[in-house]
Amino acid sequence: MRYLGRLSTSDPLHAYLQGSIFPQITHIHGHTEFRVFQFPASNEVYLYEEAKTRQRVIGKFYSQHGKDPALLWPRAENEFHHLEYIRSIGFTGRPHAVPKALGCNQGINNILVETFSPGRSLSAVIEQSIRDHQADILFAKLTALAYFLAKMHNLTARSEGVNFAGHEAYFAKIIARLLRRNRISAAQARTFHHDYEDWRQEGAMWSDCAVMVHGDATPSNLLFGDGLLVTAIDLERMHPADRAYDLGMVAGELQHSFLRHTHRKDLAEPFIGHFLWEYACHFPDRHAAFAAITQRIPFYMGLTLLRIARNSWLDWHYSQVLVHEAHKTLRR
How far apart CA 270 and CA 50 sit, in angstroms, is 44
How far apart CA 13 and CA 9 sit, in angstroms, is 8
Residue 296: CA count within 13 A, CB half-sphere: 26
How far apart CA 59 and CA 45 sit, in angstroms, is 6
pLDDT at site 1: 85
Residue percentage of the chain with pLDDT more than 70: 98
101 pairs with which residues across the strands? 114
**214 falls in which pLDDT band (50, 70, 90)?**
very high
Q: Is the pLDDT of residue 66 over 80?
A: no
Summarised one tens digit per residue, pLDDT across range 195-208 is 999 999 999 999 99
Is 281 in a helix, a strand, or coil? Answer: coil
How far apart CA 234 and CA 232 sit, in angstroms, is 7
Summarised one tens digit per residue, pLDDT across range 130-161 is 999 999 999 999 999 999 999 999 999 999 99
Q: Is the pLDDT of residue 118 over 80?
A: yes
Q: Is the pLDDT of residue 169 over 90?
A: yes
- Determine if residue 236 is left, alpha or beta; phi over 0 gives left, psi from -120 to 50 gives alpha, anything else beta: alpha
Q: How far is CA 233 from CA 1, 91, 138, 237, 271, in A?
A: 17, 12, 19, 11, 22
Q: Is the pLDDT of residue 13 over 70?
A: yes
How far apart CA 84 and CA 235 sit, in angstroms, is 10
Q: Is the pLDDT of residue 63 over 70?
A: yes
> Counting every residue, how long is the chain?
332
Q: Is the pLDDT of residue 281 over 90?
A: yes
Summarised one tens digit per residue, pLDDT across range 99-109 is 999 999 999 99
48 pairs with which residues across the strands? 36, 57
pLDDT at site 65: 62
Element spanning 208, H or E: none
- The type of residue at 313 is W
Least confident of 18-32, 62-76, 295-309: 62-76
Average model confidence (pLDDT) across the chain: 95
